[in-house]
Amino acid sequence: MCSVVLIVPLLKSKVKDPASSGNYRPIAIATALSKVLEKVVLHRLEAYLYTLDNQFSYKKGLGIDIFVYLGHVISHDMTDDDDIIKQTTKLLVMGNTVQRKFSYCSREVKIELFRSHCYSIYCNSLWSQYKMATMNRLKVCHNDILKRLLGLPRWCSSSLAFARNGVNNLDVTRRHSVFSLRSRVELSTNSIINSVRQSSPYVCGPIQQWWLGLLFVQNELSDEELFEMERHNKSEAGPESEDAPVTKAFTTKQLSEMIDVGRHLAEMAVEYDPQLDRALDFKANILDTLRRYEELYQQKKASASQMKISHFFKPKSLPTPPPSTSGPSTSGASTIEQDMDDPAPTSASRASTEDLSSSPSDQGEEEEL
């Protein structure tokens, strides 16, 4: 019963002919009792089995210290330093290639290339046990790639360079990767992932603690970076802005919103508070405080009252032509040209011209009278 084994033929490759028996390999499926018996026999005979000294495979106590699985480096002590070093080397090669081939492109193109090739760091969301020196080496590599790509000096502030160009640094990139992986794990409906999510190594293990620490604890800027940002803001603002006082504008719209919110808050207190005396006292205090803002609102509203449209128009004074001392023109054409050039005479000018143009006989009659 223990020696019964089920042999299943398995096709070596899909491209090979299924009709040929040479394209199959046998797979032995033993029972559970047969596997237990094999382990017992191996344990009894292991002390009497000897191998050559130059044999390293399939031998207890001998093997490799580093194993690469799906591109992720797994070490014997379960640390991530070797994988970080591998990603650092890969990032340096990518940065040198982009800088050499796209050095004459515009600034916008270089920033897009940096986002495309330097944001995706493989398996960075699984790093939990590593040395800070190894991680700092990766950060320096990430910062230097952006500086060399944009032609910035090496001594300039890295945080300021990332902030000016709207690019995420290494910490922000890792935080996004961790958030994406943790969200997929928490929202997954797979039975295997659910069992892993409910296990104690996942809940209380180092990977969960590192995830929470990276997502909810932010690194503060150093004093040098703060001084650099302040110096840059002052240089961009200019010398005139240093002496100019900063004033805040209090508009009528803001005052109206404040008054409405205060009144609404007082009405809510009267409506929801079971003790009416306390609610009325609270309402009276709020209305008393809002009275000052209401007076200020009325003043601003009165000063900003709309003026009439006639205020913006001024009466246009027409020029008065000087009195003519010369006699009447004999040419009809000159008279027509003068009438076309001069503006229309007013009533006062007409009266003055009539008095001046009266005949001498009329003046003599007036003197006799």
pLDDT tens digits, residue range 137-151?
Answer: 999 999 999 998 888
- Residue 102 neighbours by CB distance under 10 Å: 14
CA–CA dist 21, 29 (Å, integer): 19
Judge whether 7 and 27 are in contact, CB under 8 Å.
Answer: yes
pLDDT of residue 23: 85
Contacts (Cβ under 8 Å, ≥6 apart) of 234: 242
Residue 75 pairs in a beta bridge with 66
CA–CA dist 48, 308 (Å, integer): 114
DSSP 327-353: ---S-HHHHHHHHHHSPPP-HHHHHHH
DSSP 294-317: HHHHHHHHHHTPPPPGGGG--PPP
Residue 284: which of 263, 261, 260, 258 has the closest Cα? Answer: 263
* Tens place of pLDDT per residue across the chain (369 aa): 456 778 888 888 878 888 888 888 888 888 888 888 888 888 888 777 777 666 666 666 666 677 777 778 888 788 888 899 999 999 999 989 988 889 888 989 999 989 888 888 888 888 888 888 999 999 999 999 999 888 888 888 888 888 888 888 888 888 888 888 888 888 888 888 888 888 888 888 777 888 888 777 555 555 555 555 556 555 655 554 444 444 556 677 788 888 888 888 888 888 888 888 888 888 888 888 888 888 888 887 776 554 555 545 555 555 565 555 544 444 444 443 444 444 444 444 444 444 434 444 444 444 443
Measured CA angle at 195 (ends 194, 201), to 5 deg: 115
Burial group, residue 107, by CB count within 10 angstroms (0-12, 13-18, 19+): exposed
Judge whether 214 and 175 are in contact, CB under 8 Å.
Answer: yes
Alpha carbons within 13 A on the beta-carbon side of 138 = 28
Residue 338: which of 321, 355, 317, 363 has the closest Cα? Answer: 321
> What would the 3-class secondary structure string for 82-150 be?
HHHHHHHHHHHHHHHHHHHHCCCCCHHHHHHHHHHHHCCCCCHHHCCCCCHHHHHHHHHHHHHHHHHHH
pTM as predicted: 0.45
pLDDT of residue 299: 82
CA–CA dist 366, 351 (Å, integer): 17
Phi-psi category of residue 279: left, alpha or beta, with phi > 0 → left and psi -120 to 50 → alpha: alpha
CA–CA dist 179, 78 (Å, integer): 22
Instruction: Supply the DSSP symbol for 9.
Output: E
Structural tokens at position 103: 């050095």
pLDDT of residue 367: 44
Residue 232: which of 171, 147, 161, 168 has the closest Cα? Answer: 161
pLDDT of residue 158: 85
pLDDT of residue 227: 55
